[in-house]
Chain A
Amino acid sequence: MAKEIEISTSESKFILEALKQNYRLDNRTFDQFRDIKIQFGEELGDVLIEMGKTKVHCKISSSITEPYEDRPFEGLFIISTESTPMAGPQFENGNNTGEDEVLISRIIEKAVRRSGALDIEGLCIVAGRKCWAIRANVHFLDCDGGFVDASCIAVMAALLHYKKPDITVHGEKIIVHPVEEREPVPLGILHVPICVTFSFFNPLDIEENIKGEENSEIVIIDANLKEELLREGVLTVTLNKNREVVQVSKAGGLAMDALTLMECCHKAYDITEKVTDQILEAIKVDNKERDKFSAILSSENARETS
């Protein structure tokens, strides 16, 4: 199956022509990120991100396991991304070896795991013997472009939202306290990386792009599915709120002006800041909602929980 999405010549010409005249089909400006909708599920660490028509679900799960032998002081953190035909006919069941799918999971992996967004040393319980294994399950539900950006937001929001059960260590024994019994503990998040994807279009011919002086490439942020299919180059910049670049990924495609990179980073920073604030705000609201009852309870039994 795994059908390539076909786009008619007239439609592709129309989209490209519109871009040349500074218009996008969904009426966004070139630098405009789609509005993000963050929904939390009933359980902790269950987040549904909607970015336009793109929907990504992320769920965090945790278990206690043995750490890697060569890293006895670190817990495990795994991000699993799997796509199914649910997201669109271009995805195949049980086959996540497609070029795009591998690229998506690699970028998310680099942006979140390798940038140390999660404090994995904090997951250690007994050095060399027991540690937490945190697993982020990313489910692609509906595809309308921007999977990388949406997934990264989903993973970070879910990690921030998740709380692992409290444990007590008695020498060699570990007691895992059910959530109803003891307030669960949030994960140690060191920074919040946000991916912003830029798509490049070349309004002129290839020669002009490589040798020309004009640098007239069209750069748009957060392409939708149709724009993604037509784009000639792609750049993903991952930044955090501390103005640090976590990752820059440009895998071939249209050659771009080096200075554009700086410009892109500046644009991406504004988006990063906005998105980070939105995530934190959403979590704050959700936590308040969840704490509603415990606030009533604690007034009866004013006990300090640390």
Chain B
Amino acid sequence: MDAQTGYLENVDGSCLYSLNSTKVISAVTGPVEPKARQELPTQLALEINIRPASGVPTTREVNIQDKVRAIITPILASYKYPRQLCQITLQLLQSGETEPYFHALELIACVNSTTYALVDSGIALKGIALGTTVVISKDNQLITEPTDEILKNSKSMHVVAYMIENNKPSNLLLMDSYGDFDENDILKILEQSEIKVNQLNKTFREYMKEKINNI
């Protein structure tokens, strides 16, 4: 995993994020003045746009957008910015997975990258959102942060994102699973991903600490 915030000049917050072979740039602009139809009278409106590495955006990207929105909306202190807009643009540079079949790796890269960029932008947050991908392989092994090859040969795949408040995972923000599994698998995966998210949180804190110390 590698993150680099403040990568872009013309936006309020940005982050170049890469995990295995997936690489994404996130850009956060906001709070800014929204278009009339986006404006919410009491809250911060959120606009998310995901651009694929190659080709034009399709329903696949709309679907990822929808999930990123489901994860990011609860972490924003949205009542602090009524009638304002937060614009998040995500540009995939490298998908890292076979595109028509999967979207798990891209989704997680987008979420984690957006969290870094949101902190970089200085927008008020209630917590941060971090997530991971877990797959269950054919021989019932749990593998976190899989590669494309592991994904292809997995029995089931799961995307899990937690909200982190007061330095520990508090709320399950998203779990999205496909494949073949039962309830014990679900519990195991939630447990495993919570451990992983804790690690991610540690990395995140260290990165931010270092960044602040270097100012």
A144 touches B9 (CB 8 A): yes
Tell whether, in the assembled complex, residue A137 and residue B10 are in contact, meaning their CB atoms are under 8 Å apart: no
In the complex, are the beta carbons of A86 and B25 less than 8 A apart? yes
Q: Which residues of B contact A (CB under 8 A)?
A: 8-11, 14, 21, 23, 25, 27, 29, 32-35, 47, 49, 51, 53-56, 87, 89, 91, 93-94
Q: Which residues of B contact A93 (CB under 8 A)?
A: 47, 49, 87, 89
Please determine whether B51 and A61 come into contact, CB atoms closer than 8 angstroms: no
CA separation between A139 and B92, bound complex, in Å? 10
Contacting B at CB under 8 A, from A96-155, are 135, 137, 139, 141-144
**Chain A residues with CB below 8 A from B34, complex form:** 1
Flag if A57 contacts B91 (CB, 8 Å).
Answer: yes
Spell out A's residues near B (CB within 8 Å): 1, 41-43, 46, 48, 53, 55, 57, 59-61, 80, 82, 84-89, 93-94, 135, 137, 139, 141-144
Report the minimal beta-carbon distance from B31 to chain A, rounded to whole angstroms. 12
Nearest CB of A to B209, in Å = 26
A residues in contact with B93, CB < 8 Å: 41, 46, 48, 57, 59, 139
Q: B9 is contacted by which of A82, A85, A142 (Cβ under 8 Å)? A: A142
What chain A residues lie within 8 Å of B53 (beta carbons)? 59, 61, 137
- Minimum Cβ distance to chain B for residue A189 (Å): 19
Which residues of A sit under 8 angstroms from B33, Cβ to Cβ?
1
Q: How distant is B19 from chain A, measured CB to nearest CB, in Å? A: 12
> Are A46 and B94 interface neighbours, CB within 8 A?
yes
Of A94, A139, A144, the residue contacting B91 (CB under 8 A) is: A139
Task: Specify which chain A residues have a CB less than 8 angstroms from the CB of B11 in the assembled complex.
Answer: 85-86, 88
CA gap between A144 and B51 in the complex, in Å: 21
Most central of A42, A53, A82, A135 by chain B CB within 10 Å: A42
How many CB-defined contacts (below 8 Å) exist between A and B? 76
Given A57-B93, A85-B29, A89-B29, do A139 and B87 touch, yes or no (CB 8 Å)?
A: no
Most chain-B CB neighbours within 10 Å: which of A82, A84, A93?
A: A84
Residues from chain A with a CB closer than 8 A to the CB of B32 are 1, 89
B27 with A55: CB separation less than 8 A: no
Question: CA–CA, A52 to B49, complex, Å?
Answer: 26
Assess the A84–B89 pair: CB atoms within 8 A.
Answer: yes
Chain A residue nearest to B87 (CB atoms) is A85
Since A59-B53, A61-B54, A85-B29 are in contact, a sample of 17 more A-B pairs with Cβ atoms closer than 8 Å, ordered by chain A residue number, is A1-B32, A1-B34, A1-B87, A55-B8, A61-B55, A84-B49, A85-B87, A85-B89, A86-B91, A89-B32, A135-B54, A139-B93, A141-B8, A141-B25, A141-B91, A142-B8, A142-B10
Q: Is the beta-carbon distance between A82 and B10 smaller than 8 angstroms?
A: no
* CB closest chain-A residue, reference B49: A93
What would be 28 A-B contacts, judged by CB atoms less than 8 Å apart? A1-B32, A1-B34, A1-B35, A1-B87, A41-B23, A41-B94, A42-B94, A48-B93, A57-B93, A59-B54, A59-B94, A61-B53, A61-B55, A82-B51, A82-B56, A84-B27, A85-B11, A85-B29, A85-B87, A86-B25, A86-B89, A93-B47, A93-B87, A139-B91, A139-B93, A142-B8, A142-B9, A144-B10
CA distance A139 to B52 in the complex (A): 10
Give the nearest-CB partner of A41 in chain B: B94
Contacts of A144 in B (CB 8 A): 9-10
Bound CA–CA A93/B32 (angstroms): 15
State the Cβ distance, B88 to closest chain A Cβ, in Å. Answer: 9
Please report the C-alpha to C-alpha distance between residue A86 and residue B47 in the assembled complex, in whole angstroms: 13
User: Are the CB atoms of B8 and A84 closer together than 8 Å?
Assistant: no
* Chain A residues positioned under 8 Å from B25 (CB to CB): 86, 141
Q: Which residues of chain A are near B27, meaning CB under 8 Å? A: 84-86
Residues of B with C-beta under 8 A to A46: 93-94
Q: A87 touching B10 by the CB < 8 A rule?
A: yes
Chain B residues near A53 (CB-CB < 8 A):
9
Q: Cα distance A42–B21 when bound, in Å?
A: 8
| CB atoms of A88 and B10 under 8 A apart | yes
Chain B min CB distance to A1 (Å): 7
Nearest CB in chain B: distance from A77 CB, A: 14
CA distance A144 to B34 in the complex (A): 24
CA gap between A209 and B89 in the complex, in Å: 43
Smallest CB separation, B129 vs chain A (Å):
20
Residues of A close to B14: CB separation below 8 A:
86
A1-B35, A87-B10 known; A135 vs B55 contact (CB < 8 Å): yes
User: How distant is the Cα of A141 from the Cα of B56 in the complex, in angstroms?
Assistant: 16
